[in-house]
Each structure stands twice: as structure tokens, then as C-alpha cells.
Amino acid sequence: MARRAVLFDIGGVLFGPGLQHFLGSCERDCALPRNFLRNVLLAGGSDSSYAKAMRGQITLSQLFSEMEEGCRQHASASGIILPSTFSVTRAFEEMAAKGTVNAPLLRAARVLRRNGFKTGVLTNNWVDDSSGRLFTAKLMTLLHRHFDLVIESCRLGVQKPDPEIYVYALAALRAKPQEVIFLDDIGENLKPAREMGMATILVRDTETVLKELEELSGVQACRSEEPLPTACDPSNVTHGYVPIRPGVQLHFVEMGHGPVICLCHGFPESWLSWRYQIPALDDAGFRVIALEMKGYGESTAPLDIEEYSQEQICKVRSCRMNVMWRLGIPQTVLVGHDWGGAVVWNMALFYPERVRAVASLNTPYRPADPTVDIVEKMKTYPTFDYQFYFQEPGIAEAELEKDIGRTLKVLIRSTRQEVGVGLRGGLFSSSRLFPIPAGAESQYLHPIPFSPSGPLNWYRNIRPNWRWALLAKDRKITMPALMVTAGKDVVLHPRMSKGMEEWIPQLRREHMEECGHWTQMERPAALNRILLEWLEGLPPETPLPKFSRL
């Protein structure tokens, strides 16, 4: 019978080291006999404080109290003097502070899930009402996002190795024992599962576990070069709408808590183009706000072309930053792609007080040059021909609206010959603009409401955008900045970013050679690593000034 489901334990498997490691560390630091804390924790067998906590009969803070008392009694009976600084909670606090998620195993779980396996977490866990409960909440949120189901003993009133919890897990998976693989770091917990017919893996070191998992599942879980990160589900994010003025609103989604990152998409996309970045940034401790730019999706598309000039898009009280203003967010990290990249550079120039740091994917920054005619200059770049095709209202719309589905496919994917969209003399002529690898269409295409007039109007403000940019031609972008270039982007080619350091002193560069225009969808795992490394290196947020209440 083919295996089609995998269950993972948390402590010592998906997260480690496990509790036993930190209990041992506490014993050594306090000069206590080996297994002193473990013996107190498990004293009483099925009636021990630990067992009661695992069944949800007492909370974690109650477990601490009972363990403290048990340690005092055990120490007194054994002639052991406890240090004055001794505290049971220390081991649990150190586990939260020093433990880490097993990234290779979590990655393997994602690969299995994408290969049709059901994945679940089966863990002995407590009801955490301690001062460190935010750690538990964050960890469980992460696991719920990455697994089909999460089963905690404290919610069921039964713990491993009681066979009843395995029966429950099988029913939740809708699987037979012979179809399930179970990973745990305690042999006693594996025995009942194995006797039922499950394949079991005793977790000791990650490399061995991955090899065993591959053999049992038939999926190359550990050798996947760059598995797709987990994408957010539109139904599991918070949707919001901010009025700009009567009859005009912006749609956004948000996820997470922490320092704010605002994501700005480009043409012809939506907030969903960031679907692989939103969960990763949330997992890293950020509050992520992904905008649906003016004219796209559920955001309003005003008729006036001037509404889509960069000056209007960037105005703090009229458009993009209106979302931040309405949400009471004074400053944010901005990340943009394509047209969104132009927006974030302009925000850094014209509203620097609102920008903590700025990052652009593919779109470079260059100051406006007053000595050249911007339209004539653009005409010298054949790859920009499509922008001139977009200029006359109604012409491109008519062609785009004939078949919206086909339009999006042509705009955001290539053919098997990696042919994208070309706009010299007609929208669907062949060229190598914005290629996407054949066979990977499901990564790039997503269901979005798309009406072309609003998105096309972004292109119809070439001269107004240039005139506005001239006001800042002598300014520098002074905050930390990131420029990510893509070697296969034939329109926004990396060479266009040459010399940016002259205007952006704190610029950091990253480059992905095997990547085209759709960076956040083509190479999401690599981009996530780049963004997170850059974000982790930013200076700490400046504490907000406290104003007296008026």
C-alpha cells in the first residue's frame, strides 16, 4: 500500500533541541545530579505533573509550581542543596530562546505536501499560560500554516504513547496505518504506531532522517534544490480597504506582528504576486502589508489618467501611504517590484521620513536628467516599445480585453520556446520579453480581477513623472537600500542599475543570474533568503517619540 501521509513530532524533531537537552543544561549549571529534573518531572508516571500537563489537566504555569515544589522535596530527601537562584522555568525559557526550527525537515514537509502527501504534527504539548506564551503562539501559528493538521495532546486529553492518540490522528488524516510515516525522537512513542502498521523513523540526526524519509516516501525531500516556499491562502489573510476619497479605495492584505514591511507589486499583477514572501516575512517576525495598487484587483480604478502619475500615487494623504497613515504606521520598510519599484524609490526621495529602508526588485533608480527629452530617450530602447503601444487610450485595452485569461497568460508566461509578450505593432507579436520557464505556469498565474485601463494608465504619465522627478534630481536616498537584479530580465536589465551607489550611499546589491522579470514568483526561496538577510542587518527601529495626550 502506497504511503500518502507523514506525521511529525515537534520537540526534538521539527524544533530542537528538545526539552530534555535544556533540563540537562540547567542541571549542569546548578550542579545538580544528572536526570534530577527529569526524575521530578516524571515522578508519579501517568499521574505525574508532566503527564497531567500533556493531557491539559493543568497549565504550564501550574506545572512550574508543582515542579518547584517537587524539586524542593526531592532535594531535601536526597541531601541536595538547591542554589538560591534555582528556577525550573529557566530550562523552558532557554528552550524558547535558544531552540530553533529544523529548517531542512520543515522544507522536506513542504516538498512532501506539494507531492500530494498529507502532512501533520502529532505532539505532546501543554496549555501555555506562562509569561513566554508568545513563543508557543508563534511556533504553533507557523506549524498550522505549513501542515494540513496539528494535533496537540493537551487539546485531546490523551498523550503519546497512548494508542488512542494515534487512532485519532489516523481518523483526522483519513488514512490507514500502512499509508502513514511517523517521526519522533522518543522510541517509546514510536512503538504503538509501528505496532499499528505505520512506518516509523527515530529522529537522531537530520541527514539520516531525510534519507530514511526519502526511502519510505519515494520523494526526494532532502535533495530538492530550491523548493517553493509556502504560499499564503487568500482566505487566511486579513483583507482591508482604505478610502482615499469618496468613491476611491485601496485594497490591501496583512499578516503578522512586528516591524512593518509594505509590499508594492507591478504590472500586470496583484498583491498575490507576493504570496511566497508574505508567510516567510511573517514567520521572521514582521507585520506584512501587501498593497493592491491603484487600478488593480479590488482597488478602485479611477478614469483620469493623471490619477496614476507617480506624484499622485505617492502622496501621503491621497494614495499609497494613506494605508499606513490610516493604520497609524509612521514608518515602514518598502519593497517594490516593477512599477512598485519605481514607487518605493520615489517614496524614499519625496517622503524619506516615512521610509525606514527601501528595496527594489528589478527596477533600478536613476535621477531624472533635465538635459534630455525623456520620451525621445526611451525611444532609443527597443525593449520599451510596448510602453508606447500602451499610450493611446483604448487601443491596447481593446486587444487586451478580447480574452483576459489569454492576456494574463501571455503577459506573465512564455511559450515552450520561452517567448513572452512583444508590443512592437501588436500585443501578441513574438519577442523574448519577460520569459518564464515552460511547465511552471502554475507558479506564476493566479486568479485576479483584471481590467486593463487602470494598469495601463500607469504608463501614460511619462512626462508628468519625469517633471516630478526633476524636483529631486539632486537628492540622495540616504536610508539603507537593497537592489535585486535578475540576469534574464531583458527589459529591466542589470546593466541599467550601474552607478546607483552614487545616489544611494547605503546600497546593498544582490543578483540572481538565472531569473527573469517575475522575481518573487520565479525564485521565491532565493528572494526570501535575500530579503531576510538584508532585513536582519538593518539598524534597530528607532523608538517612537512619546507625545502627551492632548
Element (H, E) at 340: helix 339-350
Number of H helices, E strands in the chain: 24, 15
Q: Is 373 a catalytic residue?
A: no
The CA–CA distances, whole Å, from 237 to 75, 90, 407, 410 equal 51, 35, 27, 29
> Contact 479/450 with Cβ under 8 angstroms?
no
Question: Which residue in the list 9, 338, 385, 489 is annotated as catalytic?
Answer: 338
Q: How far apart are CA 199 and CA 182, in angstroms?
A: 6
Is residue 251 classed exposed, middle or buried when 0-12, 13-18 and 19+ CB atoms within 10 A define those classes?
Answer: buried
Q: Is 337 a catalytic residue?
A: no
Question: Which residue in the list 166, 296, 365, 459 is annotated as catalytic?
Answer: 459
Task: Name the residue with cell 517590484.
Answer: 337
Q: SS3 of 16, please? A: strand
Residue 332 pairs in a beta bridge with 355
Q: Alpha helix locations (H) across 499-547?
A: 519-522, 524-536
Question: Which residue in the list 74, 146, 337, 517 is annotated as catalytic?
Answer: 517
Adjacency order of strands within the sheet including 355-361: 238-245, 248-255, 287-292, 260-264, 332-337, 355-361, 481-486, 507-512
Q: Is 338 a catalytic residue?
A: yes
Q: What is the DSSP letter of 268?
A: T
Element (H, E) at 76: helix 60-78
Residue 499 in grid coordinates:
552607478
Element (H, E) at 465: helix 462-470
Q: How far apart are CA 311 and CA 73, in angstroms?
A: 72
Catalytic center residues: 338, 459, 517
